[in-house]
Structure 1
Amino acid sequence: MNNVIKFEDFTKVDLRVGTIIDVQDFPEARNPAYQLTIDFGALGIKKSSAQITTLYSKKELLSRQIVAVVNFPKKQIAKFMSECLVLGAVMGTDVVLLNPENKVKNGSVVS
């Protein structure tokens, strides 16, 4: 285990469920990636870059619910502005997306 944090630190991270509504190739990225557009319900639409091209096709990602951190500052990646961090489990060099077992309302809090 790395650094131990206090529970209060964890509560600062805003984890939400969203649905991917658009997926585009991202040829300018250093590593193969997609540009995702994600609907977070009342929080609005946010964009993210995700290096998930080896396990997921664009078609498989469309309409898939994911879990993301929505309160990080925006990050410039090439000419793309990433507004949230999509979460996944690292499996070697691949990333397996985290998602709710059942469909939930977009913007639902993950706790």
Structure 2
Amino acid sequence: MKSCLIVDDSKVIRMVAKKILQELQFETIEAEDGKVALDACKSALPTAVLLDWNMPVMNGIEFLRELRKLPDGENVVVVFCTTENDIDHIQEAIQAGANEYIMKPFDSEILAAKFQQVGLLDA
């Protein structure tokens, strides 16, 4: 089964994303910041990461850069999911290795469409 690590400091966002992703047949893992997420990835890499930008301890962009340095870390599909919607943030995320970018708030249709675009879901 495909797995998705949901990284967000908001418990509500993690809960909503978890429900949607489980409906899409993903096993879900949760992390409240980038450090917890990185530790989880060092134990077992997920298929995908749904990643918030603004978090305590280690933010999303710092996590992404560290993830890409891990063995096989470049193979994990990373979809940023954040309120940061200006072109500078989007470019920085893509340059750091993000595969896609979703604006909050999101719903199941948006999430499914993005996951389909990056090849995680069948058309």
Comparing both chains, which one has the higher relative contact order based on Cα–Cα distances under 8 Å and sequence gaps of 6 or more?
1
Tell me which protein shows more strand as a share of its residues: 1
Normalized against structure 1, the TM-score is what? 0.28
Bigger Rg, structure 1 or 2: 1
TM-score (norm 2): 0.27
Greater helix fraction, Structure 1 or Structure 2: 2
